Structures are given as structure tokens and as C-alpha cells.
Amino acid sequence: MSLTSTEAKTTAEVIARTLPYIQRFSGKTVVVKYGGNAMGDDKLKLSFARDIVLMKAVGINPVVVHGGGPQIGELLERLSIESKFIDGMRVTDSKTMDVVEMVLGATVNKEIVNMISAAGGRAFGVTGKDGQLIRAKKLVVSHKTPDMSAPEIIDIGQVGEVASIDISVINMLVDGGYIPVIAPIGVGENGSSYNINADLVAGKMAEVLGAEKLILLTNVAGLKDKSGEILTGLTTNRVNELIADETIYGGMLPKIRCALDAVKAGVNSAHIIDGRVEHAVMLEIFTDEGVGTLITNCDNSEEENA
């Protein structure tokens, strides 16, 4: 059945609007952190996979870093292993680390690879341990109260931070026509595994790859001001002000800080977008409006939309 004249006109206009974005971003790298609601809803899974495949098809190089906290929590519960958190970070002993590797490195990673493949793409799943892609070091967590003379060091187990990333592994996959799908597990100097926050890995990956964009999918509509309005275009200076006056606080702070670090390190822009919206990634790449908050170093970003 052919399109009506109105449908044909609308379809042609939508397709034509993507041309400037394709021309602008072709050949560029976009790092996407995938997690949250987008991982638990079948429609959102399909739209995410199609967005990633479309990007690759028009010459953009997507690199996917994924989380999997809820899936880890579910398996730990089934195995009767207690989940403990300190400052929002999962305490990771050796038994918990085994579960983290099983869930992130196998179950979740392979599911995403299969999703992208089913949508017509060529995805290749790796963990940060493969080829020593992500070298990690133990994350040191300290706690200090006013009555303490010195901070208390808290051991949260095999939780790490990024020490270095070997981009040759990623470049090999991208040059071979693959879409890298990366589980945020790092390897220490002694060969031990480390559980690393996926937002942090995505931010560092964007930095070392010299990415055009860092996109962080979240479970919220974007950053909001104190009146509840979505903040669209922000400079790094403005974000620092919002942190200082506690407009940005709590669980959003680590995500914002990794986005800030990436932009300050040379990534052109960071986007915190609503992963609950179908085709959120495509909307962020191929429209001016997007579905979240844009952070750049540009002085005029307050006038831009995400």
C-alpha cells in the first residue's frame, strides 16, 4: 500500500532533516552508556538497538558501555548473597565479584550483542579484562565526621576506578566494522577483577577515544532546576554552580561529574538523556531538541537545546 501525499511529504521531510546531522557526525565516535529502564522494556530495547545500528549505517562509530545493577541484584538475591551499598556503590567481595562478572560479562553483554545483531548490526562484546582493555586500580573510599581527626578508610572490596584504557582494542573492532559493547569490569596489576561504575567507564572511554559525544541514558527526563524545570543546554561553569548551590545532588552527582570530566578533557558534548523515551539516542543525534540535558564548554550552550 502506497503512502498518501500527506504521509509521503511528512516522511520525506523527516528523512531530509537528518542529512545535516549525518554530514556533521559521519566518521565521529559517540560513546553511549546503556542502562536503567531502557534495559528492562522490550520496546525500549528494540529502539535502542535500531538507533545504534542506524548510527553505524550512516558512518557514525557508536561505542556502547553498559551497566546491569538490577540484574546483579536479582541474581545475588536468588543466591542468598546480601547486597550492601556504601555511598551508592555496591560492596564487592569475591563472591559478589563472581556474580558481577557472570551477569555483566556474560548474560547482559551477550543480550545486548544479540539485540544489535538482530537489528542488522555487527556487535562484538568484550569486558574490560579482554586484551587488558581497562586497567583498573582499587577505589579508595574515605569517610570523615566533624569529631574525627582523620578520615576513615572504608574497604568496599573489588570496586575499582579506571587507571588506563588501551584504545587499540576498540580501534581494531571499529576498523573491522564492529560495534563494541563493553562490560565495565577492569583488571588490576595482579590480574584481579574490579567492578567499575559504568558511567565512569563511559566517560573515560569517551575521553581517550576523543569522542564527539558522550550519551548517558538515565531514568529521569534530564537535569532539573529547583522549580522542577528541565535544564537543556548548560556550560561546564553553569553545572559547577548548580552543584555548589545543591540544585544537583545525591545520586545524580557521580553521573554529572563524569560528564563534566569528559567535556573538560575534550569531548565535544555530553548528553544526559531520558532512556524511557523510545529512540532517545536517535533523537539526541539527529535533532536539535533531544530528550534531556546537554553539557558543553561553549559559552552559548545556554541557548542550545539538548
Q: Angle, to 10 degrees, between the axis of helix 42-57 and the axis of helix 109-118?
A: 60
Taking Cα atoms as reference points, which of 154, 115, 111, 161 lies closest to residue 136? 161
Q: Angle, to 10 degrees, between the axis of helix 252-264 and the axis of helix 198-209?
A: 10
Phi, psi of 8 (to 5 degrees): -65, -45
Q: Enumerate the known binding-site residues.
A: 68-69, 90, 195
Could you give the CA distance from residue 157 to residue 132 in angstroms, rounded to a whole number? 20
Burial class (CB in 10 A: 0-12, 13-18, 19+), 304: middle
Contact 151, 144 (CB under 8 A): yes
Q: Enumerate the known binding-site residues for substrate.
A: 68-69, 90, 195
Could you give the CA distance from residue 199 to residue 224 in angstroms, rounded to a whole number? 19
Taking Cα atoms as reference points, which of 40, 200, 196 lies closest to residue 128? 196
Give the type of residue at 240. N
Helices (H), the chain: 5-17, 19-25, 42-57, 69-78, 94-102, 109-118, 167-175, 198-209, 236-244, 252-264, 280-286
Conformation bin of residue 183: beta by default, left when phi > 0, alpha when psi is -120 to 50: beta
Tell me, what DSSP letter sits at residue 201? H
Instruction: Return the residue matching grid coordinates 539527529.
Output: 286
Instruction: Return the residue matching grid coordinates 548474560.
Output: 107
H or E element: which one contains 27? none
